[in-house]
Amino acid sequence: MAAAVNTPTPEIGTTNHTDDGYDKKCIFCKIVKGEMGTELLHNDETVCCFRDIHPGAPHHYLVVPSKHVGNCKSLGKEHVPLVEKLVETGKEILQKNNVTDLSDVRFGFHWPPFCSVTHLHLHVLAPISQMGFMSRLVYRLNSYWFITVRNQKKHPTIESAIYYNLVYN
């Protein structure tokens, strides 16, 4: 059996962030680059989607920007098209996986410091009706730790993403 070993090229004196939006210390950057062997359900130059390793629902996907973007506190007006793309991709992935009842799904971000990974990631969970007690707590609607695309209104720093209220209400 051929041993396929990915030996990282040592780099000296570089910072974490490189020009192509890759953070060497970030696990999601590595996943997007295919360095973790994670199955990518969607991957283009803007967004990437893969399964959450600790699923909180029968369907639990993470949709992330392909380039490193910090947590939702760092979002500004310029990120609206990106957030929109994350949501659209999440919906497409659900549909591809035969989740058609979009009223029984949840889309949201963990509010810092409740993010385990700083790389911006949208949680896509379905069906909500099959989520267990702990998952309901961790991904709770209208909690201060889990920001659904709907209730971002409460968080002024991502006020610009409010128009999702229109889409998801």
Which chain residues interact with Zn ion by CB under 5 A?
Answer: 23, 26, 28-29, 68, 110, 119
- Per the residue annotation, which of 59, 60, 110, 121 is the catalytic one? 121
User: Looking at beta carbons only, is 99 or 123 nearer to Zn ion?
Assistant: 123
User: Looking at beta carbons only, is 72 or 99 nearer to Zn ion?
Assistant: 72
User: Looking at beta carbons only, is 22 or 168 nearer to Zn ion?
Assistant: 22
Please say if 42 is a catalytic residue: no
Give min distance, CB of 3 to Zn ion, in A: 28
Give min distance, CB of 116 to Zn ion, in A: 6
CA distance 42 to 129: 25
Classified as helix, coil or strand, 148 is strand
Q: What is the DSSP string of 6-75?
A: -PPPP--S--SB-TTS-BTT-HHHHHHTT-S-PPPSEE-SSEEEEE-SS-SSSEEEEEEESS----GGG-
CB–CB of 85/46 below 8 Å?
A: yes
Give min distance, CB of 1 to Zn ion, in A: 32
Residues that are catalytic: 121
